[in-house]
Amino acid sequence: MANPSTSKEVAATQPVTAMSVIAPAIGWLIPGAGHLIQKRWIRGLLLMASIVIMFVIGLAMQGRVYRPNGGDILDILGFVGDVGAGGLYIVTRAMDLGQGAVAHATADYGTKYIIVAGLLNFISAADAYHIAIGKKP
Amino acid sequence: MNLQLSHFSSAVLFGLFASVVFGITQRSTSREQIRYGLYCFAMFVGGVFVAGWAMWLLRR
């Protein structure tokens, strides 16, 4: 088990490199790209395929894409999850997709697919950051 | 485009994609990543069957 104080000391001594800023940012914008620019080709492609396919299937199932809102807490959280998909969310909003009413059960699955694709992309971007700072091989 | 999957196939696909991401991001070595991804996928699919049988019992 890692010693917390040692981990903090290690984190405090990590220099902020350009890659540690760029990798998570580009990884958020384009799923998997944070790994690809660090030459983790297979990991990057698998992450990209998983997140993009999940997002597209969500849209194909007539899932709903949340807009920025200040209403119900679940709607706000839905928006936060959707934004995690980065460029996919931006393109979807620009093309005005994902605005159908959720009329059947699989459409609700689609909404969840889109949210979870975004959340998984957040994890992926964090992983790209850990690779960039040398915490992970 | 209107894709309509069954509940089962939706849940299994969901588990597949989530397991790939979990496996890659939560473990360090390739071997551990594959093992953890498979473990997560088995848990997802197992959970689908458990939930399915639980709903069947509740419905009776």
Q: Which of B6, B10, B12 to mutate to test the interface with A (most CBs of A within 10 A)?
A: B10
| Integer Cα distance of A121 and A97 in angstroms | 20
- If chain B, 60 residues long, is cut into consecutive pieces of 10 residues, what is the mean pLDDT of each piece? 88 97 96 98 97 94
Q: Do A120 and B21 touch (CB under 8 A)?
A: yes
Tell whether B38 is within 8 A of chain A (Cβ).
no
Please state, for a pLDDT cut of 70, what percent of chain A lies above it.
87
Lowest-pLDDT choice from A13-22, A106-115, A117-126, B21-30: A13-22
Question: Cβ distance A112 to B11 under 8 Å?
Answer: no
Tell whether A77 is within 8 A of chain B (Cβ).
no
Give the pLDDT confidence of A70-81 residue by residue, as tens digits. Answer: 889 999 999 999
Minimal Cβ distance to A60: which of B3, B20, B21: B3
pLDDT of A132: 96
pLDDT of A3: 53
- Rounded to an integer, the average pLDDT of A20-27 is 96
Confidence band of A102 (pLDDT split at 50, 70, 90) = low
Question: Cβ distance A88 to A50 under 8 Å?
Answer: no
pLDDT of A1: 45
pLDDT of A36: 98
| Integer Cα distance of B39 and A49 in angstroms | 20
- Chain A environment of B4 (Cβ under 8 Å): 61, 104, 106
Rounded to the nearest angstrom, the minimum Cα separation between B11 and chain A is: 9
